[in-house]
Amino acid sequence: MRRIVFMALVTLGFLVANAQVPTPDQFLGYPLGTQFTPHYRVVDYFKQVAATAKNVKLEQYGTTYEGRPLIMAIIASPENAGRLDEIRQRSLDMSNAKEGNNGNQPVIVWLSYNVHGNEAVSTEAAMQALYEMVNNGNAQTQQWLKNTVVIIDPCLNPDGRERYVNFYNTTRSVKPNVNRWSREHNEPWPGGRANHYYFDLNRDWAWQTQKESQQRVAKYNQWMPQLHVDFHEQEIEAPYYFAPAAEPFHDAITPWQRQLQVLIGRNNAKYFDEQGWLYFTKERFDLFYPSYGDTYPMYNGAIGMTYEQGGSGRAGVAVLKKDGDTLTLTDRIAHHFATSMSTIEVASQQAGKIISEYTQYFDAAKKTPQGGYKSYVVKAGGNPEKLNSLAELLRKNNIAFGFGANASGASGFNYFTGKTETFTIDKEDLVINAFQPHSNMLRVLFEPVSHLTDSVTYDITAWALPYAYGLTSYAVKTPLTPAADAPVVRNNIPLSAQKPYAYLAQWNSLRDVKFLSSLLQHDIKVRFTETPFSVGGKDFPAGTLIITRSGNTARGNQFDQFITTEANRFKISLDAVASGFVDKGTDFGSDKIRFIKKPHVALLAGKGISSLGMGEIWHFFEQQLDFPITVVDERNIDDMDWDQTDVLILPDGDYKMLADKASTDKLKEWVKNGGKLIALESAVAEIAGADFGIKQKKEDEDKDGKEKAVVARPYDALKPYANRERESIKQFIPGAIYKVQMDTTHPLAFGYPGYYYTLKQDANLYEFIENGGWNVGVLKKDSYLSGFVGADTRQQLKDGLLFGVKEMGEGEIIILADNPLFRSFWENGKLLFSNAVFLVGQ
């Protein structure tokens, strides 16, 4: 299809192009849209434009896991280009409710391209957008820049995009093959959508668990733009999607934010109508989950939008659609370019109003915070390490907090009991007052019940941080004033003058696991207690790590120094004891004190396995624990040297090998000989189907009764076609929170109280293990807490097993039916997973 150039003035711009600034076509040596441009060439083009155009500032704000640069171009009028820092600072001040508009403040538009790597058109469109914004022959764009600063990030996910582009360029036909079943239209596992660790970066804005998000959001929060667009692609057949977004909207989104989305949508529509291009709005892409590239800006005062072109990793350079038309990369560029320009145009037209609304947004957030709760208190509860992790997350999201001023009393909603109770605020507790500029984000992250305006949503519907972190918290209806000073954090343990018999470390946070990981890799011998004990007037719960001098004598005099340094490095506290004789419980030589053998861990990957689930585990070992892991492709499992493996992890996925008797027998044999198999999410269902002694709970115990009821009301089957979406959600569970009862005497539950809040994302539940195993985490009758669950599924989710251990010969199978490492933000699950890897079966 012929290239369609957007807007008459843009065409004129091409004719009188600035001689010095090359067009993408001139620079690359081929017309945009005829091939995918490798990332390094995109960077080169941005550098060339920055070097030749007067009003572009190029910044490298970071690097990816694979070492590629993350860049952004800031484009302003010649007048504004000289005062960019002042503009940035004023925007930041407005977002801190410090200073209003001075009448001279341009609106800041931030355009983010290619967060999903295989939606590879976006970066191509970014080059064209950059060119037209600096093309001083284009009177229209130069006019917009008078009151608008445009930030272009051409590629948020270079590693994923490069995976796609390499794949495409190495498999494509000389002349693009439009048959969607040709190899060039079918990416191999894991595809290019996610980053190096297969994380979906468009789910990571608030949590910032990935290097790319950490660096980008830090930069974003230094600018606090007024408009943000996230460019995407969807399936080939879908027409273009732009704002206004679909329900459900979170009720924190203001009428003005909705209204500007409509204005922008109408302007986009105008250009699409002119060209006769198809589009849709108000469906499918909702504004609820806070960690997207549209909601995150929304909860931070900006107008955040998602634009979706039809195409993505399936479309290549050209692909035949079902209606007989060919969708080309050139078409896709034209569409994303059109909405890029149209959005900047509206921003410029509405600049004054946008700035004043933006100022008001933060003033209102500070003076009249929305929602019923005006303060939140998070109890330290003897776990300052976990509290610190939560504090870090708040800091990353500009949320102000302090600590308990003086021990005092208050009354509030207890997240864990669901009741309003009186409680005491201690000095080390975290206190957050809602009267602050970022109260909307605060409320979204802390509200006990998510406010859904509709139940058909795209993602999880519950994420309240007290559940995700497992920290006792209260939502309070009155404002509490926190003390500014943080309490003294327990670290910098001095080297003991006496040589203790043993060091004791607690086991209840991720930092404790990091500490253990380091000790094991340094060949320090570590034990843990299976039962609680008391020594020196202090109680130590089950799971406490014991590092005795005995067995570690090889380190000689360096032993104490090493243990102390490592404890300080991970900011954990240690107790030193002079004797192995305890006051209550078992002495350190008892067989209740278990030796932790350093495990050799293997993780399965490959076709059929969830790349997201697998990537979370890979990232957890490499980037959080810094513990070695061997990733094995499932194809090679039969050839693998099993003697080298102590722990084998099966992430969420379908397993071909479990359908093969010989492979399954080999796996069972390995378990019987002492192997530890950890199955997560749907891998548990696969194991259950392969006769490992685990049974999936039947969907309806009461099926007969139900069928009878249907007969009694025969017209129930006559469901209106128009309601099909509503009907289908009866079995739907996009992600809701359930309270799991834990057997804290089992090592799988060490470090937890008697309960754990799980993010339930499917209806899978297992029958209680009756023989040869342990039901460690179970759902009882009333375990539902928060988030959307379809009526049918809610009925099923009770009286069953989620986390447990099935013994088999010398080894065991550990069942983790829900994902404890979800997006790496479900902080409280990380210890559960670590228990499975390091403690169970030792």
- Residue 192 or residue 301: which is nearer to Zn ion going by CB? 192
- The span of 109-117, 381-389, 462-470, 698-706 binding Zn ion (CB under 5 A) equals 109-117
Closest approach, Cβ 195 to Zn ion, in A, equals 13
Who's near 109: CB < 8 A, 6+ residues apart?
148, 149, 150, 151, 225, 226, 227, 228, 229, 343, 344, 347
Told to check if 676 binds Zn ion by CB under 5 A, we report no
**SS3 state at 824:** helix
Q: What minimum distance in Å lies between the beta carbon of 306 and Zn ion?
A: 8
Specify the residue, 196 or 386, whose C-beta has the smaller distance to Zn ion: 196
CA distance 480 to 465: 19
823 binds Zn ion (CB under 5 A): no
Please enumerate, as own/partner, the contacts of 687-692 that have beta carbons within 8 Å and a separation of 24 or more: 687/650, 687/658, 687/813, 687/815, 688/766, 689/658, 690/658, 690/659, 690/664, 691/664, 692/668, 692/806, 692/808, 692/813
Least gap, CB of 312 to Zn ion (angstroms): 7
Segment interacting with Zn ion, rule: CB under 5 A, options 116-124, 332-340, 368-376, 440-448: 116-124
Please answer whether residues 826 and 510 qualify as being in contact, where contact means their C-beta atoms are separated by less than 8 angstroms: no
116 binds Zn ion (CB under 5 A): yes
Least distance to Zn ion, CB of residue 233, Å: 6
**Cα dist. 242→231, 325, 458, 647, 796 in Å?**
10, 22, 16, 47, 38
Given 185, 232, 511, 527, the residue binding Zn ion (CB under 5 A): 232
CA separation for the pair 509, 728 (Å, rounded): 39
Distance of CA 712 to the CA centre of its chain: 47
Q: How far is the CB of 673 from Zn ion (least distance, A)?
A: 45
Convert 283-336 into a string of H (helix), E (strand) and C (coil).
CCCEECCCCCCCHHHHCCCCEEEEEEEECHHHCCCEEECCCCCEEEHHHHHHHH
- The residue (of 136 and 213) whose beta carbon lies closer to Zn ion is 213
* Rounded alpha-carbon distances, angstroms, from residue 156 to 62, 114, 338, 414: 10, 6, 20, 39
For Zn ion, the closer of residues 192 and 500 by Cβ is 192
Integer angstrom CA distances of residue 470 from 283, 378, 426, 740, 827: 35, 10, 18, 12, 8
Give the type of residue at 662. Answer: A
β-pairing, 430-433 vs 533-535, is unpaired
Q: Between 534 and 553, how does the x/- string for binding to Zn ion read (CB under 5 A)?
A: --------------------
CB of 330 to Zn ion, least distance (A): 20
Whether the Cβ atoms of residue 740 and residue 778 lie closer than 8 Å to each other: yes
Q: 294 to 323, contacts with Zn ion by CB under 5 A?
A: none
Which residue of the chain is nearest Zn ion when measured via CB? 232
CB of 229 to Zn ion, least distance (A): 13
In one-letter notation, the amino acid at residue 687 is I
What is the smallest separation between the CB atom of 114 and Zn ion, expressed in angstroms? 9
By residue count, the chain amounts to: 842
Candidate segments 114-122, 256-264, 375-383, 786-794, binder of Zn ion by CB under 5 A: 114-122
Task: Please give the helix or strand (H or E) that residue 140 lies within, else none.
Answer: helix 139-144
Q: How many residues bind Zn ion (CB under 5 A)?
A: 3
> What minimum distance in Å lies between the beta carbon of 292 and Zn ion?
10
Coil/strand/helix, residue 686:
helix
Is 752:832 a contact under the CB 8 Å cutoff?
yes
Candidate segments 111-119, 123-131, 728-736, 811-819, binder of Zn ion by CB under 5 A: 111-119
Nearest-approach distance from CB 826 to Zn ion, in angstroms: 23
- In angstroms, give the least distance from the CB of 315 to Zn ion: 13
**Residues 118-137, mask of contacts with Zn ion (x by CB under 5 A):** -x------------------
- Closer Cβ to Zn ion, 116 or 619, answer by number: 116
* Chain residues 312-371 in contact with Zn ion, contact rule CB under 5 A: none
Nearest CA to 87 among 148, 137, 24? Answer: 148
Cβ-based nearer residue to Zn ion, 198 or 540: 198
Min CB(212)–Zn ion separation in Å:
15
Residues 6+ apart with CB under 8 A from 558: none
3-state secondary structure of 175: coil
Interface segment toward Zn ion; rule CB under 5 A; list 24-32, 117-125, 261-269, 796-804: 117-125
Contact region for Zn ion (CB under 5 A) — 226-234, 471-479, 674-682, 817-825? 226-234
In this complex, which beta carbon is closest to Zn ion, that of residue 294 or of residue 331? Answer: 294
Binding residues for Zn ion (CB under 5 A): 116, 119, 232
